[in-house]
Amino acid sequence: MKEIFQKSLEKQLEKLSGKPQKNMERKLGRAITAALMDVFCTLPQRKAASPRAAYFSAEFLPGSFITGSLANLDLHNTLKTTLRQKGFDPECIERLSDPALGNGGLGRLAACLLDSAAATDIPLDGYGIRYRYGIFQQKISGCEQTERPDLWQEDCAFEKEHRDDAVKVSFGDGEVTAVPFDIPIAGKNRINRLRLWQCEPCTPVDFNAFKNGDICLAFKEQNNAEAISGFLYPPDDTVEGKALRLKQQYFFSAASVASILKDFSKTGKPINCLGEYIKIQLNDTHPTVAIPELIRLLCEDYGKDFENALKISGEIFSYTNHTVMAEALECWDEALFCRILPKVYPYVVMLNNHLRQNIKSSELINKISIIKDGTVRMANMAVYVSHKVNGVAKIHSEIIKESVFKEFYTLYPQRFLNITNGISHRRWLCLANNGLSSFADARIGTDWRDNLPLLDEIKNYNSVADLDELMSIKAKNKRQLADYVKANGGFLLDPDFMFSVQIKRIHEYKRQLLNILAVLGLYIDLKNGELKDFYPTAFIFAGKAAPGYYNAKQVIKLINAVSALLEKDETARKYFKVLFIPDYNVKNAMKIIPAADLSEQLSTAGTEASGTGNMKLSLNGAPTIGTLDGANIEIVDYAGMDNNYIFGAKRSELACLTNYDPMDIYYSSDRISRVVDLLKQGPFGDFTALFNSLLFGSYDPADRYKVLLDYPSYMNARLSANEDYKNSRIYAEKSLKNIAAAAHFSADDTVQNYNNKIWNI
Ligand code: 26Q
């Protein structure tokens, strides 16, 4: 494989060498892509007619397909050496923009699972939307987030357009065409496919209508269609039922179902066997409308009765829930649903009636019915029809059984299961952290690269020499991050500082506010001469806020304002640095994560479904400072409490805390009130909105996410991590334990679990 790749790449590069080229990185990207495609031709091709699973997701956050393929096929070193030999700079392709068709964890998980399925020989295809604009690019100006459109399509040469496979999708107000763009996802023994749909008007712009004076009509058609695959919705603090989003969901769900039925026809089998051919995994509720769509087609095009169509669909669908927050469960106004999807709506009504006839208890019915008080509840539809429903970490799967799906759980206990998330170690360790990967190779051989659980063995290599080498690898990664930061923003980051890292979407429940308040607490202590022997620390943040999420944007502003304040203060500068790295994405995550000394996972217990950044940081040797929430719980189970810094109220404790009043804490603790007061009259601007949200609340109760409650224990945990860090060998040993423990979080295992426990292909 290496030889084919090298030969083909050399040939491609010849065309580029000699004269200087405009747009060199894009041309180089195309050359590498072409060479990879030559390799793909030699692999066993996708067999449309053999049984498969389909991952339906409104979001995919794959990062560069070039690096993903290199990681899966182990061609990264071949690429680097070939480029260098031919006089090209391997760093050049770093400047290309990646498809960023997702917001965060849910989209990134979809990408890791696709990569792992290809690598472990599972026939899993992805289906989603080819958004014209991916998630916005974030810039920071005057401490605040600003958003710019992200145009990625020109930079990606992996897609192949398939007009021959286009399908029509119809809405209440007309028809559109769904055109698939296919991206090969390669493993060493198979090629799977990510199929992204682009929305186009059925009839091209009618220039005759133009001439006849009906300009408005001609343009309306066109714009409407293009809007459907125009942009990705960012999740706001409250999920609003927007008509265009429902259109997006139906657009890709209906097109994907049609495409699967077309593939199925190639098997020559009767439609009753559809469930043996295809399994569809719904990535959250976003593609749930695929359920009534399939039922509709089985009834209308294949002559099945409703009961039979429902039975077939039950064998096919299963649903993954990714959030515990009730307000994030999607609901649609019934009238809107009926207006936009008049052909599908009757089947939703039939499903609702079916459920109501099945369930006798009227109390239960109100909780679980699909239509209630003029709203369509997508999660209830997904759970009612699916044969399996899973959460994404142990605690999360327990929570959904106790809360949002309690009644369903009593009715169908065997339907519910847990499948803990995982990460692609090929990307997040092999590619991102060459130093640490070689460290492992030299001690336990290279088999772990295709079998991550073997990495657990690394924990036995804890001699002084081993630990010293581990530290020097981390030091090098930190220097590289410092260089990157400098090159991209001119900010100076001292690699001798401890690097404490919180990188994720900015959301109140994730509590970046707790982190930055604790920095202010340390700052006050320093000013009062109360801070003793603090090891200098860089508090590194990165993440995007939804454009309409005011408090989250205020938190970004606060972080940057505190950063500027500390920068101006000569004494403070010796001990702390606050750094906000703009435009968090897959590419810069691969630079930040290997350089982290401490992983900040601060969500209020019971709010983060799983988290996957926590796994990536642990795998790269950063102990967790965090709450007993999401997959943090499993991380400390495997790596040990002593090797992490757990703080904060547990979920069970929070459940008992019925009349929490942050004001009590504020008045009883000077240490807390003087920090919180800084938000109001601070030397860095006015953050009254955040002050008020902590003490008074508005729509939400005061301090909904218990920042003040957990502040003291967080501060203690932070100080004890800081203390431990001073003894670098002790700290390196904790780091080593975390690397070994993260061997449990392979996305290879996760996708095998989906196959063994849900799909059975
Ligand atoms: C819904 C309606 C309208 C607009 C947007 C949305 C929307 C979009 C994205 C709602 C939710 C999301 C994304 C959720 C998400 O990323 N959840 C994360 O999933 C990860 C993978 O399972 C978990 O690790 C995280 O804990 C969870 O927060």
Question: Quick one: fold of 2-329+385-421+751-759?
Answer: Rossmann fold (3.40.50)
| 750 in contact with ligand 1, CB cutoff 6 A | no
* Segment 156-178 mean pLDDT: 95
Of 326, 344, 324, nearest in space to 334 by CA: 344
| 606 in contact with ligand 1, CB cutoff 6 A | no
**Residue 235: band (very low, low, confident or very high) from pLDDT cuts 50, 70, 90:** confident
pLDDT given at position 326? 76
Cα–Cα dist 315/318, whole Å: 8
pLDDT > 90: what percent of the chain? 88
For the stretch 414-469, pLDDT in tens is: 999 999 999 999 999 999 999 999 999 999 999 999 999 999 999 999 999 999 99
pLDDT given at position 130? 97
**Torsion-angle region of residue 34: left (phi > 0), alpha (psi -120 to 50) or beta?**
alpha
| 113 in contact with ligand 1, CB cutoff 6 A | no
**C-beta pairs of 654-663 under 8 Å, 24+ apart in sequence:** 654/604, 654/605, 654/606, 654/706, 657/706, 657/709, 660/701, 660/703, 660/706, 660/709, 661/702, 662/694, 662/695, 662/702, 662/703, 662/707, 662/708, 662/709, 663/695, 663/702
Query: How many angstroms is it from 673 CA to the middle of ligand 1?
Result: 34
For the stretch 364-388, pLDDT in tens is: 999 999 999 999 999 999 999 999 9
| 610 in contact with ligand 1, CB cutoff 6 A | yes
Residue 46 annotated to the active site: no
| 612 in contact with ligand 1, CB cutoff 6 A | yes
Which protein residue's CA is at the shortest distance from atom 2 of ligand 1?
A: 239
Residue 67 has pLDDT above 80, yes or no: yes
CA-241 nearest atom, ligand 1: 3
Of 423, 253, 457, nearest in space to 341 by CA: 253
Which is more confidently placed, 224 or 612? 612
What's the CA dihedral at 498, 503, 508, 514 to 10 degrees?
0
CA-242 nearest atom, ligand 1: 3
Which protein residue's CA is at the shortest distance from atom 10 of ligand 1?
A: 235
Residue 714 has pLDDT above 80, yes or no: yes
pLDDT given at position 221? 59
For the stretch 679-694, pLDDT in tens is: 997 888 999 999 999 9
Q: Matching CATH topology for 2-329+385-421+751-759 and 425-741?
A: yes
**Residue 124: band (very low, low, confident or very high) from pLDDT cuts 50, 70, 90:** very high
Angle, CA 576 vertex, CA 572 and CA 582 arms, to 5°: 120
**Residue 18: band (very low, low, confident or very high) from pLDDT cuts 50, 70, 90:** confident
| 608 in contact with ligand 1, CB cutoff 6 A | yes
Q: Round the average pLDDT of the chain to a whole number and report it.
A: 95
Residue 237 has pLDDT above 60, yes or no: no
pLDDT given at position 339? 96
Residue 396 has pLDDT above 70, yes or no: yes
| 72 in contact with ligand 1, CB cutoff 6 A | no
Residue 23 has pLDDT above 90, yes or no: no
| 283 in contact with ligand 1, CB cutoff 6 A | no
| 634 in contact with ligand 1, CB cutoff 6 A | no
Residue 209 has pLDDT above 90, yes or no: no
pLDDT > 70: what percent of the chain? 96
pLDDT given at position 24? 85
On whether the CB atoms of residues 634 and 420 are closer than 8 A, the answer is yes
Residue 616 annotated to the active site: yes
Residue 218 has pLDDT above 60, yes or no: no
Residue 236 has pLDDT above 80, yes or no: no
pLDDT given at position 155? 85
323, 330, 424: which to mutate for ligand 1, most atoms within 8 A of CB? 323
Choose the catalytic residue: 322, 377, 388, 744.
322
pLDDT given at position 94? 83
Which tokens in the block code for residue 458?
A: 């690394």
**Residue 220: band (very low, low, confident or very high) from pLDDT cuts 50, 70, 90:** low
* Segment 301-319 mean pLDDT: 98
Query: How many angstroms is it from 112 CA to the middle of ligand 1?
Result: 15
**Residue 240: band (very low, low, confident or very high) from pLDDT cuts 50, 70, 90:** low
Residue 491 has pLDDT above 90, yes or no: no
| 312 in contact with ligand 1, CB cutoff 6 A | no
Which protein residue's CA is at the shortest distance from atom 13 of ligand 1?
A: 106
Choose the catalytic residue: 510, 553, 734, 737.
510
User: pTM of this prediction?
Assistant: 0.96
CA-107 nearest atom, ligand 1: 16
Choose the catalytic residue: 26, 30, 507, 616.
616
Q: Which of the listed CATH numbers 3.40.50.2000, 3.40.50.880, 1.25.40.80, 3.30.1370.160 matches domain 425-741? A: 3.40.50.2000
Which protein residue's CA is at the shortest distance from atom 12 of ligand 1?
A: 235
**Residue 716: band (very low, low, confident or very high) from pLDDT cuts 50, 70, 90:** very high
Length of the chain measured in residues: 761
Residue 504 annotated to the active site: yes
* Range in 194-208, 417-431, 625-639 with the lowest mean pLDDT: 194-208
Residue 160 annotated to the active site: no
pLDDT given at position 242? 86
pLDDT given at position 308? 98
For the stretch 142-154, pLDDT in tens is: 999 999 999 898 8
- Residues with Cβ within 8 Å of 380's Cβ and at least 6 positions away in sequence, in order, are 355, 368, 369, 370, 408
* Range in 210-224, 277-291, 393-407 with the lowest mean pLDDT: 210-224
Phi first, then psi, for residue 627 (nearest 5°) are -90, 165
Q: Where are the domains of the chain?
A: 2-329+385-421+751-759, 425-741
For the stretch 656-676, pLDDT in tens is: 999 999 999 999 999 999 999
Which tokens in the block code for residue 632?
A: 């943090």
